[in-house]
Amino acid sequence: MREDKLKALGIASLGKVNWNLSVPELVTASLKRGEGVLSSTGALSVQTGKYTGRSPNDKFIVDEPPYNAEIAWGSVNKPISQEKFQRIYGKLMAYLQNRELFVFEGFLGKDPEYRINLRVINEYAWHNIFVRQLFVRPEPGELDNYEEDFTIICAPGFKADPAVDGTNSEAFILVSFKQKVVIIGGTSYAGEMKKSAFSIMNYLLPKKGVLPMHCSANVDDEGNSALFFGLSGTGKTTLSADPNRKLIGDDEHGWSDNGIFNFEGGCYAKTINLNPKHEPEIWGAIRFGAVMENVILGPGGVADYTDASRTENTRVGYPVDFISNADLSGRAGHPKVVIFLTADAFGVLPPIARLTPEQAMYHFISGYTSKLAGTERGITEPEATFSTCFGAPFLPLPAQVYAEMLGERIAAHGSRVYLINTGWSGGPYGVGERISLPYTRRLVEAALTGEIEQAEFVADPIFGIEVPTSCEGVPAEILWPKNTWQDKAAYDEQAKNLAKSFIDNMNKISGVADEIKAAGPKI
């Protein structure tokens, strides 16, 4: 019996267990339980309480052999002892006894050759909607003789006691690769489940010769695919949702010998300042079956996407088929183009630049973008931030493992690589203006079609990246950032400061080849 699976986890006495409910059934349950309300478009709107984003300081990996020898331990991958894990695990299982539970069974990975069977056990019905929409849903018959490879258990109502349990707070995200389980408590933010699943894939897939990537992907009618790497707020989801191309996925993919494939069956888009003119696909996806987190509703349940009073990190999760031009296979051939996105708040980097293979590796390892004033406590002015391979919080293995795999694939398949800045022009944040989204879309289009290669390129004197002098539909003066600054000396100073940040960051990363370091900025 399926219930035996739950009892085997340690839940000795089961309450009502809801197995693989449909979305309408789960929405009904969520409303009855008072977990959320419907918006004017039919989306379920919920509030996540104290935690409105991921809590990286509360994530731990169990220090257990032989897996501990492979983990890149440090500030990101923090260890927790087996004893402490088992104590919290036992208390969590006792907490779940006789409670109503919602169980999803499905997959991670659209390529059957590499997919992972995932079971998710939820305390909240709306969380179960989220995972059903975000992960790969089973086809009829695929759950026959189903055996999970990994289990995620999420119970926000169970809070840790830091003094007793050895956690940093009441919230915890604990990953055991030996027991093949992730347990989450104390936080209702659904993104913890999504990113825990990503961490699982980032550990397992390199062993199968597959590069896991924090990127979005799309493909044209001729089968030419593209990857978009970038941290939160750089435009990964927005730019990959292109009405002229089919969406493969918006956040997590693998690159195998077969090509690329989506890890997920859904999208998790930021909604702050969402605009139907600029982001019509995402706007149209917010309907019945979608789940909105921390979006403020006005009269009549109308969402106010400009309201950041709760958090800047307002989100919506929905199945990928809510995007009208999505490729539901979730798969495509080897990418012709790889784009690294950054939101440079210092106004230094050009809107587009071409990268050599060595520069591509340098910028992949760097994973640069900016944090803005007001988005996190303590940040009063723009701050350079670096996330190795554009996904450091989710990489259990050393960064070089992922970087080398990307370099090998770019070389093997002749992928063209570009750096695209979706940040500021004409000065830093507070002085200049954010680069127009229509201009960015035009530059992306030129990169994807190869049109940009017809332009003349000039090397940036500090960063060494190659900048085009023209692109039809984009004012030539904005292509060279210094031209947009009134104070040219101030630009030079800002560029040197940013270059120094790159160099200092790279010097902190061990094992980077000299030829890759040499491809970075020079001051």
So which residues are the catalytic ones? 54, 195, 214, 232, 236-237, 251, 315
Residue for token pair 């996540």: 48
Which amino acid, one-letter code, is at 504?
A: D
Angle of helix 357-366 relative to helix 488-507, nearest 10 degrees, comes to 80
Among 253, 259, 135, which residue's Cα sits nearest to residue 205? 253
What's the DSSP call for residue 369? Answer: E
Dihedral (CA of 327, 333, 336, 338) sign: positive
Q: Give 183's strand partners.
A: 153, 174
Residue 460 near residue 480, CB atoms below 8 Å: no
What the block records as the tokens of 414 is 């002749």
Residue for token pair 């894990």: 85
Q: How far apart are CA 23 and CA 267, in angstroms?
A: 16
Q: How far apart are CA 210 and CA 186, in angstroms?
A: 33
Q: How far apart are CA 49 and CA 384, in angstroms?
A: 29
By the 10 Å C-beta count (0-12 exposed, 13-18 middle, 19+ buried), 159 is classed as middle
DSSP three-state, residue 510: coil
Angle at the Cα of 138 from the Cα atoms of 114 and 295, rounded to 5 degrees: 100
Residue 112 near residue 240, CB atoms below 8 Å: no
Q: How far apart are CA 271 and CA 324, in angstroms?
A: 18
Among 500, 508, 250, 509, which residue's Cα sits nearest to residue 403? 509
Residue 103 near residue 195, CB atoms below 8 Å: no
Q: Omega into 66 within 30° of 0, i.e. cis?
A: yes
Dihedral (CA of 353, 358, 364, 366) sign: negative
Residue 57 near residue 38, CB atoms below 8 Å: no
Angle at the Cα of 349 from the Cα atoms of 251 and 306, rounded to 5 degrees: 55
* Residue 327, phi-psi category: left (phi > 0), alpha (psi -120 to 50), beta (remainder): beta
Q: How far apart are CA 380 and CA 374, in angstroms?
A: 6
Residue 158 near residue 185, CB atoms below 8 Å: yes
Residue 438 near residue 469, CB atoms below 8 Å: no
